[in-house]
Structure 1
Amino acid sequence: MSAAARAAHLIVDETPSIFADTLAHTFLGERAEELLDYHRSYGGHPVLSGARTTAVTRSRYTEDRLAELAGRGVDQYVILGAGLDSFAYRSELAASVRVFEVDEPTTQQWKRALLVETGTTVPPSAVFVPVDFEKESARSLADHLVRAGFDPGRPALVSWLGVTMYLTPEAIRRTLAVICGFAPGTELIVEHLLPAGLRDEVGQSYAELVMAAAAEQGEPWQTFLSIEQMDTLLLEHRLQPIEYARQRETINPAEWERTDTLRPFELSVLARARVVALHQRSR
Structure 2
Amino acid sequence: MAHNPAAQTAFGPMVLTAVEQREAPERRLVNDDLAFAFLPAGLRAVVSATRLGLLRRLMIGATERSGPGLWVNLACRKQFIDEKLDDALPGIDAVVILGAGMDTRPYRLARRSDVPVYGVDLPVNIGRKEAVVRRVLGQAPPSVRLVPVDFETDDLAAELARAGHRGDQRTFFIAEGVTQYLTADAVRTTFEYLRAAAPGSRLVFTYVRRDFIDGTNMYGARSAYRRFREKTQLWQFGLDPAEISSFVAEYGWRLIEQAGPDYFLRHYVGPAGRNLTASQLEWTAYAEKT
TM-score when scaled to structure 1? 0.84
Q: Secondary structure at the residue paired with 1:112? A: helix
**Contact 1:13 / 1:261 at 8 angstroms: preserved in 2?**
no
Contact kept, 8 Å, 1:155 with 1:184, in 2: the verdict is yes
| 1:27 matched to 2:46 | no
Segments of 5+ residues of structure 1 without an aligned counterpart are: 277-283
Task: Within 5 Å, give how 1:157-168 maps onto structure 2.
Answer: 157-168=172-183
Separation in 2 of the partners of 1:120 and 1:205? 43
Deviation for aligned residue 1:104: 0.7
1:177: which partner in 2?
Answer: 192
2:285 aligned residue (247, 267, 271): 271
Over the matched positions of the two proteins, sequence identity in percent amounts to: 26
C-alpha distance in 2, partners of 1:205/1:254? 22
Is 1:234 the counterpart of 2:248? The answer is yes
- CA gap of 1:20–1:166, structure 2 versus 1, over 3 A, is same
Instruction: Please give the secondary structure, in 1, of the residue aligned with 2:17.
Output: helix
- Among 84, 87, 90, the alignment partner of 1:65 is 84
Q: Distance in 2 between matches of 1:205 and 1:141?
A: 36
Q: Cα RMSD between the aligned structures?
A: 2.7
- Is 1:126 matched with 2:144? yes
Does the alignment pair 1:100 with 2:114? no
Q: 1:150 to 1:64 in 2, by over 3 A?
A: same
Residues 60/258 of structure 1: CA separation in 2 closer, same or farther (3 Å cut): closer
> SS of the residue aligned with 2:207?
strand
How many angstroms apart in 2 are the aligned matches of 1:176 and 1:212? 29
SS at match of 2:134: helix
CA distance in 2, matches of 1:118, 1:93: 14
Name which of 102, 113, 119 aligns with 2:131: 113
Shift of 1:99: 0.8
The structure 2 residue matched to 1:80, chosen from 75, 98, 102, is: 98
Residue aligning to 1:214: 228
Counterpart for residue 55 of structure 1: 74
Looking at structure 2, the residues matched to 7 and 190 of structure 1 have their Cα atoms a distance apart, in angstroms, of: 22
Name 2:27's counterpart in structure 1: 16
5+ unaligned residues in a row in structure 2: which ranges?
Answer: 1-11
Instruction: Give CA-to-partner distance per residue, 1:7-64, whole Å, 9 cap, x none.
Output: 0111257733221111111111212245435863432231487443122211111111
Q: Distance in 2 between matches of 1:142 and 1:5?
A: 32
Q: C-alpha displacement at 1:167, in angstroms?
A: 0.9
* Cα drift, residue 222 of structure 1: 0.9
- 1:44 matched to which residue of 2? 61
CA distance in structure 2 between the partners assigned to 1:94 and 1:254 by the alignment: 24
- Would the aligned equivalents of 2:181 and 2:237 in 1 still touch at CA under 8 Å? yes
Q: 1:134-149 alignment to 2 at 5 Å?
A: 134-136=152-154, 140-149=155-164
| C-alpha deviation, 1:112, in angstroms | 1.1
Contact kept in structure 1, 2:175 and 2:205, CA below 8 Å: yes
The CA deviation at 1:168 is 1.1
Greater displacement, 120-129 / 87-96: 87-96
Alpha-carbon distance in structure 1 between the residues aligned to 2:110 and 2:120: 21
Q: Secondary structure at the match of 1:85?
A: coil
Matching residue's letter, 1:79: I
- 5 Å-filtered alignment, 1:179-194, equals 179-194=194-209
Contact conserved, 1:60 with 1:250, CA < 8 A, in 2? no
1:115 CA displacement: 2.0
Give the C-alpha shift of residue 130 in structure 1: 0.8
| Cα shift readout 1:245-279 (whole Å, capped 9, x = no counterpart) | 21332575474255544322211111122221xxx
Deviations along 1:216-251, one digit per CA (max 9) or x if unpaired, are: 884621112102333332222222222222133257
User: Does the CA-based 8 Å contact 1:108-1:128 persist in structure 2?
Assistant: yes
Change (3 A) 1:81 1:179: same
Contact 2:67/2:224 (<8 A) preserved: no
Measure, in 2, the Cα distance between the counterparts of 1:14 and 1:2: 19
Q: Distance in 1 between matches of 2:192 and 2:284?
A: 19
The verdict on how the C-alpha distance between 1:49 and 1:12 changes in structure 2, with shifts beyond 3 A counting, is farther
Range that drifts further, 115-124 or 141-150: 115-124
Question: Which amino acid counterpart does residue 142 of structure 2 have in structure 1?
Answer: P
